[in-house]
Amino acid sequence: MRIGITGALAVAIVSALAGCSAPKGQYPIALAEALARLERADINGFRKARQCGFLIHFSAGRPDDHSIEWTVKSSGQKVARFTVSLSAVASGSQATITVPKGADGAEIYDGGQHYSHPMLMQPLRPAVQELIDSAMDQRPYDWRRIPDPLNTDQLCGSELQNFEASGKPYELGDPEGMTHEAAVQAGLSQ
């Protein structure tokens, strides 16, 4: 079988490029530029792709000069947070995700948690990794790049479908799984 010089060259280039990919979480970008890109991350795209049936709001803070912490609030109450820290490595920058632990000692929204009022699809960590990747690539957040499972919380999925269909969000004080409108009609919420 003959592949010719052009074919052999193409195979050699593809093989060389396959061995050049950086380890997960490392980017061939200087630390200052990586931080600037992370500050411009598509948090609105992240919210739209990962929220459940509640209105949630993100605010970014700087716990130190190399980290960004996003706080998630609903009805004025803090409901989640996560931090991305950057450090310089020989190849550019390394991103490290920190997600706080829940009452059971596991990370919040780790894919195995149950929440009566879920705010975000689970698991959270791969979704945050896509937030970082999209920021470093300077592109919009793309939920299709998240590996399966995309969401392990059926209540979250159900609430999101109801919210999208009705345009009416759930609220923190509502009984589990009940829309705010239904809770008010039943006299269970204001």
Beta bridge partners of 74: 77
Count the helix, strand and coil residues of the chain and give each as a percent rounded to the nearest 5. Answer: 35, 20, 45
In a domain, 1, yes or no: no
- DSSP alpha helices (H): ranges in the chain? 4-18, 31-39, 43-50, 125-137, 154-166, 180-185
Identify the pLDDT of residue 180.
73
Q: What amino acid is encoded at 138 in this protein?
A: Q
Burial of 74 (0-12, 13-18, 19+ CB in 10 A): buried
In a domain, 32, yes or no: yes
How many domains are contained in the chain? 1
In a domain, 77, yes or no: yes
The closest of 98, 84, 88, 99 to 27, measured between CA atoms, is 88
Q: Are the beta carbons of 92 and 29 closer than 8 angstroms?
A: yes
Beta bridge partners of 94: 26, 87
In a domain, 164, yes or no: no
Strand, coil or helix: 55: coil
In a domain, 132, yes or no: yes
Domain that holds residue 57: 23-152
Looking up residue 45, the CATH number of its domain turns out to be 3.30.530
Per-residue pLDDT in tens (0 to 9) along the chain, 190 residues: 444 554 444 444 433 444 456 788 999 999 999 999 999 999 999 999 999 999 999 999 999 999 999 999 999 999 999 999 999 999 999 999 999 999 899 999 999 999 989 999 999 999 999 999 999 999 999 999 999 999 999 999 999 999 999 898 998 888 877 777 777 777 777 7
